[in-house]
Amino acid sequence: MVRKTPLVYNPTMPELPEVETVVRDLRGLLLGRRISGVRVGPKRLRQPWSRTRAALIVGRQVRSVGRRGKWICVELDDAHYLIVHLGMSGQITLKPAEAPRARHTHGVFDLDDGAEQLRFRDPRRFGSLQVMVGTEEVDAFFDENRLGPEPFALRPGDWQRRLTATQRCLKAALLDQRLVAGVGNIYADESLWEARLHPARRGCDSTPAEAERLRRAIVAVLRRAIRKRGTSFRDFIRANGSSGDYQKEFRVYGQTGRPCPRCAAPIALTRLAGRATHYCPRCQAGIGSSASRER
């Protein structure tokens, strides 16, 4: 089960805490400001990013900056929205207009008199920029089928029902944005460790107590990460250019071979749902029953 070859530790994932950090920064920087111009780069992002659509936000003022899962929602006048996903390597920064434009800049938004610009940069282009008009369009986009509840709004009974409805392993379930929005690879591993649940266990095998433990773990881990302003690897920077600290708090993610902070057994690395998965083989309850242990 455990891979012998070490996987390269070079991750970069804006998940909920990183997006929340960006949103908080953007709020301070953008509220009340007017988009006075938009430029769309030639390269296509994950979703096509159209010039015609982009033009719709020109001349409009920023009313609010919010987040849904890993999506950033900038609300402008007359229910116009700029919806941003950072993908794997997306960055949003505020720069003076004369600052040199970094490589892989796919969107430039002039602010007010044009002295400053909001810029979207994304080397891997897994991110996206979209303009939407009307709350109906936004609601349809975030339809329940595509995006589940926010982790902090999970109701214990509902969560348990939906978690036990799936045959998939807990790791795959946590990565599914329809079950819970905003959890990615890092916080999935950290939450499962916190809940002392083996990532390969099936969702449907969870007892009510285990489901609740997992729900609380997700909330605790995400809150802690938000407090630390998210995780910073080289690709993730905050809107104002400063970085987060949560990478110092990792219990299992990227800790392969290091002692488990709870029981000192070496942290194992495997691959689940096509993703590198870190866990403690001793204190994360194994497959079958909560008492069994892997190995």
Partner DNA sequence: ATAGGCGCCTGCTGGC
Partner DNA sequence: TGCCAGCAGGCGCCTA
20 among known catalytic residues: no
Q: Which of 66, 227, 229, 92 is nearest to 150 (CA)?
A: 66
In terms of CB distance, is 16 or 54 closer to DNA?
16
Phi, psi of 230 (to 5 degrees): 80, -170
The size of the interface with DNA (CB under 7 A), counted in residues, is 40
Task: Give, as ranges, the residues between 94 and 133 that touch DNA (CB under 7 A).
Answer: 103-104, 123-126
Tokens of 68: 């849904």
Distances (CA, A) of 65 to 28, 82, 183: 9, 9, 20
Task: Note whether 8 binds DNA by CB under 7 A.
Answer: yes
In terms of CB distance, is 56 or 188 closer to DNA?
188
Task: Note whether 15 binds DNA by CB under 7 A.
Answer: yes
14 among known catalytic residues: yes
Q: How far apart are CA 266 and CA 276, in angstroms?
A: 16
Taking CB under 7 A as the criterion, the residue among 38, 82, 225, 273 binding DNA is 273
Q: Which stretch binds DNA (CB under 7 A): 91-99, 112-120, 165-173, 285-293?
A: 165-173
Helix count and strand count (H, E) for the chain = 7, 10
3-class SS of residue 203: helix
Task: Note whether 199 binds DNA by CB under 7 A.
Answer: no
Minimum distance, C-beta of residue 32 to DNA, in the bound complex (Å): 28
H or E element at residue 278: strand 275-279
Minimum distance, C-beta of residue 169 to DNA, in the bound complex (Å): 6
Strand order from edge to edge, sheet including 91-96: 35-40, 105-111, 116-121, 91-96
Minimum distance, C-beta of residue 126 to DNA, in the bound complex (Å): 4
Task: Note whether 146 binds DNA by CB under 7 A.
Answer: yes
156 among known catalytic residues: no
| Cβ pair 281, 273 in contact under 8 A | no
228 among known catalytic residues: no
Q: How far apart are CA 61 and CA 33, in angstroms?
A: 5
Active site residues: 14-15, 70, 275
**Which residues contribute to the site for DNA (CB under 7 A)?**
5, 7-11, 13, 15, 43-44, 46, 69-71, 85, 87-88, 103-104, 123-126, 146, 166-169, 172, 175, 177, 184-186, 234, 271, 273-276
